[in-house]
Each structure stands twice: as structure tokens, then as C-alpha cells.
Structure 1
Amino acid sequence: MRKVTLSHRMEYAGLMFVIFVLRLMPLSVASGMMGRVWRFIAPKLSRQKRAMEHLRLCFPEKSEKELYVITQGMWDNLGRTFVESLLAEQFLDTAASLIEITSEFDDLVEKIQTSGAVIVSLHSGNWELGGVVSSKYGFKAAVTIQKLKNPLVHDYVVSRRASTFQGGIYAKGDKAGTRIMSTIKGGTVAAIMGDLRDGRGVKVPFFGRPAPTNTFPARLSLQQNVPLIAVQILRKDGVQFKINAELIEVLRTDDLDADILSATRQVQQVFEGWIRAKPEQWMWAHKRWG
């Protein structure tokens, strides 16, 4: 068990106060307010520089003004996502009206319910609503998350997400891979974020540049013989969303490493297409390429 410091307790108390205030507002108002706050403050912080550098490399044809506008949209989306993740349970009763299910995803639901699946997603729109979607369709989803530095905040976030990610929440570094693999054997869907830099992964093209990429989603799909599905929960307007989904063609030959690489490359190609369509909804400030 990690040691809890006074600083941890103060941070936790501050978070509880923020959540208390947010719950006094309608969800759409709280989301919009935090989006505006992040849009105003975040461009003045150090990660704005990194986001602009990445955008220049990926969209050399765009002007500095156009790229700056993209970062403003990004910060607005991240501010909204922060609030919506804290209040995710409020989506449970309203999912039918707030989350549009595309025919592509609808067609895959029966496959997911029958055989299970590995769902690989990206930090675009509101990725935190995956548990809400799984609850709506009646299948359990297990998810891996980054362990937060503050143990009190970490435990709180896990307890809140447990209401939607009913298959379990596993922190990286706590044998998450082994534990989530066992859940698939029990019929649970594994939900994994596949757009972050992984120094131990393989380098695959992403916006024309080699990016160290996590191969675990593809490996898990192959090992457990279940479909690999790329999913994006795209923000349409305010707190309304649309689910995009694409079934990845997973080869099953005698060369396991080549099959994993092929599926991983396909996932990143799908992600890139989604990001190019709505670049303001992706998290440009993280170290994707190194």
C-alpha cells in the first residue's frame, strides 16, 4: 500500500470540493464551463508548446493560426472530458439520447456479446464513456489505467469507474496484462487505449513518422482468438457523442510476430484517419513519437 502524505490529503480534499460544486450544475453546464476554463488557461502552460510542435509536423500545410485553433479545441475537449469522467454515472440513464450508435458498431455488438472482444481506443472525444456504452449493451468491460500518483485520488477514480467498467479496472504495473487476459476467458471485453507511446513496443508509421506502439491489443486478440475492434467515442456537440467502430483484420498465420505487427499497423491507420477528420479532439500534448 502506498504511503498517503498531507499533500495527497489536500489534493483529495480539493478534488472533492470541485466535484461537489460540479454536481450542483446540469451536466451540460458543468462540461461547458470546464471546457472554457481549460481553453483559457491551458494554452499558457508548457504542454501547449509540445502540442504545437506535433501539429506542425503532422499538418505542415496548415498555418500557425489554424494549428493554434486546433489546440484550443483540444484543451476545450480535455476540460469537458475531465468533468464528464468525474460525473460518468450521470450518462447511464441518458445514454440513449446522448450517445449515437453507428450502424458499424451496432453490427459488431452481437459479435462482442457472443465471443468477447478486444476493444482498442484512443484519447479522442470522450474515451472515458466506454464503460457507459458497455453497460448500455449489457456486456462487461475491463479496462487498464495508468496508476495515479495520489493514492486517494486513484482509489476514488477506480471506485467511480467501477459503476460502468463492470469487468474490472486494472492499474498498469500490477500485472494488468495477465489479469485482463483472464477476464476475457470469462467472457468480459478488454478495453485498452492504443494511442500512447510505448517504449517497449514496435515502431509503426503514425502520421508518416515511426511511433513506438503498444502491441498488446493485437497480441491479446490473437492469443484469445477474439475480434479486435477499434472504437472512437467522438464528441458531436456539447455532451452529445457518436461511436465510430472498425473491425480490424487480424491475420492468423504461422508467423505470430508478423500477424501482431500487421494488426497493430492497421489500428494506427484507423486512428490516424479519425484524428485527421477531427484533430481538435485528440490529445496532441503527449509524447507520442518519443
Structure 2
Amino acid sequence: MKKVTLAHRIEYALLMFVIFILRSMPLYVSSGFMGWLWRSIAPRLRRQKRAMEHLRLAFPEKSDDELYAITLAMWENLGRTFAEAVLADKIAKRMDELVEQPENYRLIVDEIKRSGGVIVSLHSGNWELGGAISSHNGFDCSVVMQKLKNPLVHDYMVRKRAETFSGGVFVKGDRAGMRALTSVSGGTAVAIMGDLRDRHGATIDFFGRPAPTNSFPARLARKKGAPLIALRIKRTRGIHFKVQAEIVPMPHSDAVEDDILQATIAEQAQFESWIREAPDQWMWAHRRWG
């Protein structure tokens, strides 16, 4: 276990204080306040430059003023997502009111209950609500997460996610792949974020630029014979959301590696389509291509 330093303890204490304040407010106030705070502060920080660089490459036809407006909305969405992540239990109690679930998603849920599933999502809208939504729909879902630098914050986030991801929380580097493999079965799904850079993954065009991409979700779905489901939880307004999901075509030929590559390409194409439709809800500041 990583040694806990004084800096870790101070950071954790500040996080707990912020969470205490957020939980003392009505849900819509907490979300709106954190959205305003991030929108006000984050554009002045160093990651703003990276976000603008990525947006210029993705949307060369847009002016800097248009791109800057996208970053403001992006930071607001990220602030809201932080607040809603620590208040997911409150959203879970109002699921039918706050989260629209179209008929095609309900059909996909039925498929998961029959044969399991691999859900691959992206940092768009509020991706943190996946566990609450799966529990609401009556199927177990596990999640693969990255290890956080602060061990106290990491342990807290594992506990929070375990409250809604009833299938378990698997941390990368801790046999996460094997645990995900054994968890996919009828009635059980595993959720994986598929829009992060993976230096050991397949290189696939994303917004016209080569991007190292995690092909594990497609590999897992291909091996288990389970559907590969691209999913996002789009913010429609304030604390209201809509689930959008599509089953990604999975080839089944004798060339297994090519099947996995083609499914990953299709998955990333779906992500790009969603991002183009709502660019202000995706996390442009992370190192997707670098």
C-alpha cells in the first residue's frame, strides 16, 4: 500500500469538508454551485491550454471564441459531475424523475439480464451515474477504475462506487482484467471507460488523428460472447439526464484480432459522433492523443 503523507491527509480533509458542504445543500444547488465554481476557476489553470489545443484540432472550422465557450461549458459540466458523483445516492432516489431511459436502452437491459454485457462509456455528461442506473434497472454491474494518487481519496472513491456498482469495483493493476472476465455472465455487466489513452492499445483514428486506444472492452465482449454496449449519460439540463446506448457490431470471423479491432473502431466512431453532437460535455483536457 502506498504510504500516506501529510499532503494526502490535508487533501483528503479538504475533500471531506467540501463533500459535507455539498451534502448540506439541495441537490440542484450543490450541482449548480460546483458547476459555477469550476467554470470560474478552471479556465485559468494549465489544463485549459490543452483543452483549447485539442478543440482546435478537432474543430478547425470554429473560431477561438466558439472553442472557448465550449471549454466554459465543459468545466461547468465537470464541476456538476463531481458534485453529483458524491451525491449519487440522492439521484438514485429520484431516478425516474431525473434520468430518462429510452425504450432501446430498456431492450438492452433485457439483453444484459439474459447474457451479461460489456458496457464501454466515455467521460461525457455524467458518467458517474452508471452504477445507480444499473442498480435501478435490476442488474449487477461491476466497474474498472484507475488507481488514484492519493490513497485516502482512492479508498473513499472505491467505497462510494461500491454503493451503486453492486457487481464490484476492480482497480487497474489489481488483476482487474481477470476479475472483469469472470464477472461477465447472465444478469451481470462490467463497465469500462473507453476514451482514455492506452499506450499499449490499438492505434485508431479519433477526430482524424491517431489515438492509442484500449481494445480490452471489445476483447472481453468477443471472448465472453456478450454484447458490447456503447453508453453515455447525456446531461439534458441542470440535474436531468438521458441514457443513450447502442450495441456495437461485433464481427465473428476466424481472425479474432481483426474482429476486436473492427469492433473497437466502431465503438470509437460512436463516441466521436456523440462528442460532435455535444462537444461541451466531453473532457477535452485529458491526454487522449498524446
In 2, Cα distance between equivalents of 1:181 and 1:188: 11
1:103 deviation in Å?
A: 2.1
Whether the 8 Å contact between 2:117 and 2:189 is mirrored in structure 1 is: yes
In 1, Cα distance between equivalents of 2:172 and 2:71: 28
Equivalent residues in 2 for 1:200-219 (5 A)?
200-219=200-219
Q: Do residues 234 (structure 1) and 234 (structure 2) align?
A: yes
Q: Give the structure 2 partner of residue 64 of structure 1.
A: 64
Letter in 1 for 2:78: L
Q: What do residues 6-28 of structure 1 show as CA deviations (whole Å, max 9, x unaligned)? A: 22111111111111111110011
Q: Do residues 18 (structure 1) and 44 (structure 2) align?
A: no
Q: What do residues 33-53 of structure 1 show as CA deviations (whole Å, max 9, x unaligned)? A: 000000010000010000000
1:108 deviation in Å?
A: 1.0
Q: Do residues 3 (structure 1) and 13 (structure 2) align?
A: no
Letter in 2 for 1:85: A
Whether the 8 Å contact between 2:28 and 2:238 is mirrored in structure 1 is: yes
1:2 deviation in Å?
A: 2.1
In 1, Cα distance between equivalents of 2:276 and 2:12: 37
In 2, Cα distance between equivalents of 1:57 and 1:280: 15
Whether the 8 Å contact between 2:112 and 2:186 is mirrored in structure 1 is: no
The secondary structure found in structure 1 opposite 2:70 is helix
Give the unaligned 5+ runs of structure 1.
none
The secondary structure found in structure 1 opposite 2:205 is strand
The secondary structure found in structure 2 opposite 1:112 is helix
1:179 deviation in Å?
A: 0.9
In 1, Cα distance between equivalents of 2:150 and 2:51: 26
How many residues get paired? 290
In 2, Cα distance between equivalents of 1:33 and 1:5: 30
In 1, Cα distance between equivalents of 2:149 and 2:275: 29
1:169 deviation in Å?
A: 0.5
In 2, Cα distance between equivalents of 1:116 and 1:143: 14
In 2, Cα distance between equivalents of 1:210 and 1:218: 19
Letter in 1 for 2:73: G
Q: Give the structure 2 partner of residue 249 of structure 1.
A: 249
In 1, Cα distance between equivalents of 2:166 and 2:91: 15
- Report the more deviating stretch, 60-69 or 84-93: 84-93
The secondary structure found in structure 2 opposite 1:212 is strand
TM-score (structure 1 length as normaliser): 0.98
Letter in 2 for 1:214: N
Q: What do residues 244-270 of structure 1 show as CA deviations (whole Å, max 9, x unaligned)? A: 111111011100110000000000000
In 2, Cα distance between equivalents of 1:137 and 1:207: 33
Q: Give the structure 2 partner of residue 157 of structure 1.
A: 157
Give the unaligned 5+ runs of structure 2.
none
Q: Give the structure 1 partner of residue 43 of structure 2.
A: 43
1:86 deviation in Å?
A: 1.0
1:185 deviation in Å?
A: 4.0
Q: Give the structure 1 partner of residue 274 of structure 2.
A: 274
In 2, Cα distance between equivalents of 1:82 and 1:168: 21
In 2, Cα distance between equivalents of 1:187 and 1:236: 29
Q: Give the structure 1 partner of residue 103 of structure 2.
A: 103
Q: Do residues 182 (structure 1) and 182 (structure 2) align?
A: yes
1:161 deviation in Å?
A: 1.3
Whether the 8 Å contact between 2:140 and 2:166 is mirrored in structure 1 is: yes
In 2, Cα distance between equivalents of 1:186 and 1:271: 26
In 2, Cα distance between equivalents of 1:17 and 1:51: 29
Q: Give the structure 1 partner of residue 284 of structure 2.
A: 284
In 1, Cα distance between equivalents of 2:218 and 2:165: 21
The secondary structure found in structure 1 opposite 2:199 is strand
Whether the 8 Å contact between 2:112 and 2:188 is mirrored in structure 1 is: no
In 1, Cα distance between equivalents of 2:103 and 2:49: 39
In 1, Cα distance between equivalents of 2:249 and 2:283: 26
Letter in 2 for 1:51: A
TM-score (structure 2 length as normaliser): 0.98
Q: What do residues 232-288 of structure 1 show as CA deviations (whole Å, max 9, x unaligned)? A: 100000110001111111011100110000000000000000000000000000111
In 2, Cα distance between equivalents of 1:148 and 1:58: 29
- Report the more deviating stretch, 144-153 or 260-269: 144-153
